[in-house]
């Protein structure tokens, strides 16, 4: 599941109507089981109240996941200083790790010439932004997005958007390990306070520093 979140986090930039250089978006995560196995039902129950929060300011990026009562994860990237870290907390403790920039760059999704985009006239408003329905078919999987072209996050490689989708997603759905997950924007700000603390890439002293595993090639 964490790999899915990393893919959602490190994506390419896009062009839209109004460029914003800093801000914050919160997404609530609605989970539903795709099967009735005890394991899946227990996992969904533990993930009630999950949310994703993204922060951006020029070359600074951060995404936080609160996955119910299971764990919290924060991924922060400072491209000015070419540094990235991850912080996670769970019942097992607090752990921090430095993330290699070359690996993060290699994981940025590219435009897929085989991706199929279907656009619809369906409209709805989310957080005051007019959105249209888009369905992406890629690698045999379909994903439904509600995207707006009224805002553009002005950060080099931070977006919850698949680069094959035309617009900024304020709602989208995905599946993972027997669950469907719907991300819906529930709050936002177009300015930030205390950016030094928000985007700090220093691992706190009370976090256990964990070594990075070698990159699989």
Residue 14 has pLDDT above 80, yes or no: no
Q: How far is CA 63 from CA 5, 97, 194, in A?
A: 9, 15, 16
At residue 214 the predicted structure's pLDDT band, cuts being 50, 70 and 90, is very low
Give pLDDT tens digits for 115-162.
999 999 999 999 999 999 999 998 888 889 999 999 877 665 544 657
Residue 9, helix vs strand vs coil: helix
pTM for this one? 0.81
**Higher pLDDT residue, 213 or 182?**
182
Closest alpha carbon to 167 in 128, 117, 127: 117
Using CA atoms, how far apart are residues 146 and 39, in angstroms rounded to an integer? 31
Give pLDDT tens digits for 76-103.
999 899 999 999 999 999 999 999 988 8
36-66 b/e (C-beta count within 10 Å ≥ 16 → b):
eeeebeebbeebeebbbbbbbbebbbbbbbb
Give me the mean pLDDT over the 179-194 stretch.
91
Domain map (residue ranges) of the chain: 2-209
Closest alpha carbon to 78 in 202, 212, 199, 204: 199
Segment among 15-19, 96-100, 176-180, 212-216 with least mean pLDDT: 212-216
Q: What is the pLDDT of residue 7?
A: 42
Q: Residue 81: how many CB atoms within 10 A of its CB?
A: 11
Q: Phi first, then psi: what are they for 12, rounded to 5°? A: -80, 165
At residue 106 the predicted structure's pLDDT band, cuts being 50, 70 and 90, is confident
Using CA atoms, how far apart are residues 147 and 161, in angstroms rounded to an integer? 9
Residue whose structure tokens are 């299971």: 70
Segment among 79-83, 121-125, 177-181, 198-202 with least mean pLDDT: 177-181
User: Which CATH number is 2-209's, of 2.50.20.10, 3.90.650.10, 2.80.10.50, 2.40.170.20?
Assistant: 2.50.20.10
Q: Residue 217: how many CB atoms within 10 A of its CB?
A: 4
CB 104 within 8 A of CB 77: yes
Using CA atoms, how far apart are residues 55 and 27, in angstroms rounded to an integer? 12
The single-letter DSSP state of residue 140 is T
Mean pLDDT of all residues in the chain? 83
């Amino acid at each position: 599941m964490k790999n899915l979140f990393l893919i959602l986090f490190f994506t390419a930039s896009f062009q839209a109507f109004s460029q914003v250089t800093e801000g914050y978006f919160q997404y609530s995560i609605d989970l539903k089981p795709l099967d009735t196995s005890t394991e899946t039902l227990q996992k969904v129950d533990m993930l009630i109240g999950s949310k994703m929060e993204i922060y951006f300011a020029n070359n600074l990026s951060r995404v936080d996941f609160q996955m119910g009562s299971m764990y919290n994860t924060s991924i922060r990237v400072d491209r000015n200083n070419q540094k990235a870290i991850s912080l996670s907390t769970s019942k097992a403790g607090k752990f921090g790790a430095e993330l290699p920039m070359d690996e993060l760059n290699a994981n940025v999704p590219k435009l897929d010439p085989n991706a199929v985009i279907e656009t619809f006239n369906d409209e709805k408003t989310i957080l005051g932004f007019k959105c249209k329905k888009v369905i992406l078919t890629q690698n045999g999987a379909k994903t439904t997005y509600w995207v707006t072209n009224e805002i553009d996050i002005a950060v080099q490689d931070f977006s919850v958007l698949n680069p094959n989708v035309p617009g900024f997603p304020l709602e989208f759905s995905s599946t993972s390990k027997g669950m469907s997950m719907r991300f819906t924007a529930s709050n936002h700000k177009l300015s930030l306070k205390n950016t030094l603390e928000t985007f700090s890439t220093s691992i706190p002293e009370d976090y256990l520093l964990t070594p990075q595993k070698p990159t699989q090639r």
